Amino acid sequence: MRGKLRKKKLKGGKLSLYIDYYPPVWNPHNKRFTRREFLNLYVHANPVTPLEVKENKLYSEIAEKIYIKRMKALMLEENGLFNKDSLDADFFLYAKSFIREKQRENVDTTHYETAVKYLHKWMGDHCKFRHIDEIFLQKFKQFLLNTHSLKSKHTKLSQNTAASYYDKFTIIVKEAYLDRFLPEDYTIRVKRIGNIDTHRQILDDAELKLLIQNPVDDDTVFRSSIFALLTGFRFSAIKILKWSDLHYSTPLDSWYAYIVDPKPGRSFKHYISKQAYTILGEKPEGDGLVFPDLNYSRTRTKLQDWFSSVGLKDKAKFHNWRHKYATDLIEKGEDIYVVSKMLNHKHVKTTQIYAQVPDVTRAKAANKAIYDHLN
C-alpha cells in the first residue's frame, strides 16, 4: 500500500491538498474504492504576505499529520490489526451515513432514525465508538425499556417497540464493526429485547362489511386501504409502488407486483388478484406512483375518523388490513408456508401469529362439549 500527499491547482491561485492512494482504498462511508481523498485544506500557490506564508505552513503540517494517520491505519489493516484511532470517530455521523445509504436503496429507515433519536435522548450530542461495548448495549436496552415515548411524556415505550428500536440500533453497530470502527461485534454477547405476545385487534367479517358500506371521505385513503386488504401490502410498500412495478403474466392469467419491500429491504414478487388491480383505477400516461398523494399522517387521521364513525376506534390501524388479509387466507385453508411467502416473511414462525384459531371455530367447539346426563 502506497500513498502520497499531493496538491491540485485550483482557480484563484490556491492548491487543494489531497492524498493519492495506490492501489485504491475502501471508503466505508461511500461504500466504494477511491484513489483520492481531498482533505479540505488549501494553500497559496504563490504566498506573498507573511500571513499567507504562515497559512501554508499550518495547513501543510495538518495535511502531513492526516497523511501519517491514514498510512498508519492502512498498515494496521493490512496486518490484521485494529486501528484504535477509529474509536474516536463520531457514532452519530456514522449512523447518519448508514441511514442515507439505506434510503438510497429505497429501504424504509423510519425505525433506524427513531432508534438514533432515542440514543440522542440518552447520550446527548456526543457518542464516540469508544463508548460502545457490552455494558453500553446493556444500559441502552434498560433505557429503552424504561423511557417514555418521544411523542408523549405520559406514555411509556412498549416492550415490543423498544425491541424494534434496539434491533435497528444493533444492525448499525454490526455494520460499524464490519467497517472496522469497532474491534469486535459486541451485539453477539448481549441478548436482544424479547417480544411479548399482544392481543391483535383483527377485523371480523361483519366489521369489514360495516367499514366498506360506510367509506371514508378520502378516495386515496379508501383505495389504498382496500388494496392493502386485498394484497397484504404494508403501508411502506404501497407508498413507493409505481405503475411500472405492476406486470401481467399471460400464462398464469394473473397480475403481480415486483418491488423492493422496504421493511425487510429485499426484492419481492407478489401476485395480486384482478380485483386488487381494478381498485387502482385507470393507469395514467407514463410512469409514476400508484398513490402519489398518499401521506402517512393524513392516512392515520382519516383512518381514526373512519373507524370511529362505525364504533371501531380501537382497530384504526393501517396494518390491520394486512392482518385481515393473512388471517382470511389461513382460515380459508391456505397453507401457512404459502401465506408466509405472500407476506414476504423471512421465517414461517413470523406468520404463525396469524394462525390462531378464530373465535367462531372455538365457539362451535365449545358448544360440542355437552354432556347429556347433566341436563
The answer to whether the CB of 261 falls within 8 A of the CB of 254 is no
pLDDT tens, residue by residue, 200-223: 677 889 999 999 999 999 999 999
282: Cβ contacts below 8 Å, ≥ 6 apart = none
pLDDT computed for residue 127 by the predictor = 95
Distance, CA of 216 to CA of 232 (rounded, Å) = 20
Mean pLDDT to the nearest integer, 45-69: 92
Q: What tens digit of pLDDT does each residue of 66-116 get?
A: 888 888 877 777 766 677 778 888 999 999 999 998 888 777 788 899 999
CA contacts within 13 A on the Cβ side of 218: 17
Tally of CA atoms within 13 A in the half-sphere of 11 that contains its CB: 0
C-alpha cell at 166: 434496539
For residue 42, pLDDT over 90 is answered with yes
pTM (two decimals): 0.54
Is residue 257 within 8 A of residue 241, CB to CB? The reply is yes
